[in-house]
Chain A
Amino acid sequence: MDNQLYLSSSPHIHSGETTDKVMRLVIYALLPATLVSIYFFGLPALGVLLICTLGCVAFEALSCNLMKREQTIADGSAALTGILLALNLPPSSPWWISLLGAAIAILIGKQVYGGLGYNPFNPALVARVVLLISFPVQMTTWTAPAPLGSGVDAVTAATPLGEIKTAVMLTGKLPELATSGFGDYFLGNMAGSLGEVSALALLLGGLFLLYKKIISWHTPLSFIGTVIVVSGIFWLVDPAKYPNPLFHLITGGLILGAFFMATDMVSSPVTYKGMLIFGFGCGLLTVLIRLFGGYPEGVSFAILLMNAATPLIDRYCRPKIYGQVEQKA
């Protein structure tokens, strides 16, 4: 008769915090932002969310099947990638953009590298950037918010960041919107990607993750802090040409990026020191791209570029081990 006792190497207890629980909590943290986006952009937003999420899960299942890997959809990472992707797309994206995005995120962004844990770049951002470069028209057609029940039809509009970029290019001066309407921006009443709009909802989610210790404060703080400081310096130099730091903070994808994208564990550094450097790099690149780059928004590019630097950062941020300092040769 087989013995029913288990033997294993120590330790014999576990924190209970597993990969799927981590993923699930991040999904919960994104709920406020997804609900706000559905409120402001209505059914099209819901459609984008559903297609991206289901698409990612389906592609994950498919590729695991094809590559004869263990089925991994239950860990929730594919669903999370799908939600993050949706939050990075304009609400008016046609269905095929969402589906293609899901395929790129899972197949090219993740599975070709070996699946969860091995992808060097954030899969959702890979998909967003590929789509942005390949389909600039669809990816930069934004709609003004038309809150549920308001009876307003969706009309095409520009994002605040897009508008100031155009205005500064044409006139060399900031338009009026760069200095007013902050309350609306904060709540999410502006044009933009699904998840870029409501700083409030994203902050709620981010704070939840910090409270639950799923993410540490290092990356978001250094990312956002750097953006505020660097954009603040430009603003002080020429307030007529450069928007103030608060504008940078609550328009565009900074909060989403800082709390949910740059903190993606797989593609960011593993040490606290590394996270601070990573966040600083993201912040600096974001401001530079926003102010001087060809695109109005730079969060995605900044994070992807820093993803590429992650192995290097990890290499230089190896912790100093106990007892090594005093070693005498």
Chain B
Amino acid sequence: MSLKTFAGGLHPPDSKSATAHKPIEACPLPEELIIPAAQHIGAPADICVAVGDQVKKGQVIATAKGFVSVPIHASTSGEVIAVEPRPHPLGRPLPAVVIKPDGEDAWDEALEQHDPAQLVGEELKQLVLAAGIVGMGGATFPAHVKLSPPEEKPIDTLILNGVECEPFLTADHRLMLEESTRVIDGINILRKILGIERAVIGIEANKPDAIEKMTAECAPHNIEVQALEVKYPQGAEKQLIDAVTGRQVPSGGLPMDCGVVVQNVGTAAAISDAVRLGRPLVERVATVTGPGIKEPKNLKIVIGTPLSHMVEFCGGLEGEPGKIIMGGPMMGQTQLSLEVPAIRGTSGLLLFRKGDFSTRPAGPCIRCGRCISVCPIHLQPTTIATYARLNLVDEAESNNALDCIECGCCTYICPATLPLVQSIRHIKGGIMAKRRKS
């Protein structure tokens, strides 16, 4: 089978060997769970419990607010001991429900099991929304929104993202190996919701075991498995669509504009649970790794587990941490402390010691053109970054700054170590502010 891919991109060392072979381990419950109301793109949920309330696992503790929003659920049974702003992965304290587990980990009895064969697409979609399913690759976009394309945009292909192109992370890899049944069941439900037949799982060629397993198990379900060239950012939505279908999402548009819906394999597994067991999204697989951790592991964690608890379960810190990164090294967010909780989009926790990352100050651009040759969107990052430094919003806009997917390739390759992505992100904010004004 030939490997498909996109134009641009690069090959950072994949650093996955520390955890790729390790089975997923269940991380025990912490002393307290911090469950923020904002865990997805869109409006934060409205908290609907108060201090002193007893909650069951899977019970709604915050309700969705608006269409682009999802409810939040208690990830274990116990007592609500605080409803207050707590440290959040976004870097500032945000409203959260703090639960002290009672140790029973008892599911809410009200949760109903369903047989997907008995339900129609719309009913299934409501179950997805009620379960609070969001994109689990890290973007945390509410899944039901992606599954509600307007009529004038017909969908013909569902792509499952099992690429996991971020270095270090192996959570999706392990999930496909160990929980392939759930993943495939989720895919079948997704196909039913969308009313389409074609589904393709894209997997990078550096996971031959996952490709083999999925190919074997998908065959009876008429699901295609597409091996993809190992190249970053192969798992970015637009690049994945290009590689699998040869179509391009129009500039400023969404995947549905070219007839495609993309979901992460983890999301598919969560959708299976949501329908068959009626269980909402309260746990996920995350990779805890990096040179700053003693025993890197793939963990099954409940949402709201403090990072410090995950670190402890992985043997503790190795040396003094220099950077705490939630997510992968290319697109993850640095954290202020280990007190923040893991949320629905937490695909990994990466710890670097001082010296594991570059602190070289930025020099002048030497016009080497590397950023242009690696940009998967074919932008001119250095030109946009220059406009960003000078705050020239209109010029940056006409150079298509808004098309940037912030994958980080340009900054990774820049010999002058310029913070290109950050500059572009900065000016994107400026462009959006200008558009709101006018």
A contacts, CB < 8 Å to B? 3-19, 21-22, 72, 75, 77, 114-118, 216, 265-272, 318-328
Contacts and interface: CB of A to CB of B under 8 A. Distances in A.
Leading 6 A-B pairs by shortest Cβ distance: A11-B408, A270-B369, A117-B364, A9-B422, A319-B378, A265-B368
Contacts of A22: 366, 368, 415
A12 B322 CA distance: 11
B329 A13 contact: yes
A4 B320 contact: yes
B334 A12 contact: yes
Contacts of A323: 238, 248-253, 377, 403
Interface in B334-374: 334-337, 350, 352, 354, 357-360, 363-369, 372-373
A56 B380 CA distance: 32
A13 B167 contact: yes
A297 B187 CA distance: 68
A313 to B, nearest CB: 12
7 contacts: A9-B419, A10-B332, A12-B350, A13-B358, A15-B413, A19-B416, A22-B368
Given A322-B251, A323-B248, A327-B252, A8 B415 contact: no
A9 B359 CA distance: 12
A322 B336 contact: no
Contact of B367 (A14, A114, A216, A266): A266
A13 B360 CA distance: 12
B79 interface: no
A265 B369 contact: yes
Interface residues of B, number: 68
A6 B433 CA distance: 28
B397 to A, nearest CB: 13
B42 interface: no
Given A11-B331, A265-B366, A327 B320 contact: no
A293 to B, nearest CB: 29
Interface string B211-255: 000000000000000000000000000100010000111111100
Contact of A326 (B248, B354, B368, B379): B248
A253 B99 CA distance: 75
Contact of A19 (B251, B366, B376): B366
B406 interface: yes
A16 B412 CA distance: 8
Interface in B383-428: 400, 403, 406, 408, 411-417, 419, 421-422, 425
Interface string B319-331: 0111111010111
B142 to A, nearest CB: 23
A327 B250 contact: yes
B90 to A, nearest CB: 12
A19 B363 contact: yes
Q: Tell which of A4, A12, A75, A266 has the most Cβ of chain B within 10 Å.
A: A12
Given A265-B366, A327-B251, A14 B412 contact: yes
Nearest to A114: B364
A143 B167 CA distance: 57
B333 interface: yes
A57 B411 CA distance: 29
A270 B352 CA distance: 34
A239 to B, nearest CB: 40
A18 B416 CA distance: 6
Nearest to B360: A18
Given A22-B368, A117-B365, 7 more contacts: A6-B334, A6-B354, A12-B332, A15-B10, A117-B364, A272-B373, A326-B258
A7 B334 CA distance: 5
Contacts of A322: 238, 242, 248-249, 251, 376-378, 403
Given A12-B332, A321-B379, A19 B367 contact: no
Contacts of A8: 323, 334, 419, 422
B352 to A, nearest CB: 7
A95 B302 CA distance: 74
Contacts of A325: 248
Contacts of B364: 114-118
A268 B336 CA distance: 42
Contacts of B323: 5-8, 12
B12 A12 contact: no
B367 A117 contact: yes
Given A116-B366, A270-B372, A325-B248, A13 B238 contact: no
Q: Tell which of B335, B368, B413 has the most Cβ of chain A within 10 Å.
A: B368
B416 A318 contact: no
A115 B416 CA distance: 14
Contact of B403 (A115, A117, A118, A321): A321
A270 B242 CA distance: 25
Contacts of B322: 4-6
Given A265-B366, A326-B258, A10 B408 contact: yes
Contacts of A10: 327, 329-333, 406, 408, 411, 421
Contacts of A321: 251, 377-379, 400, 403
A15 B250 contact: no
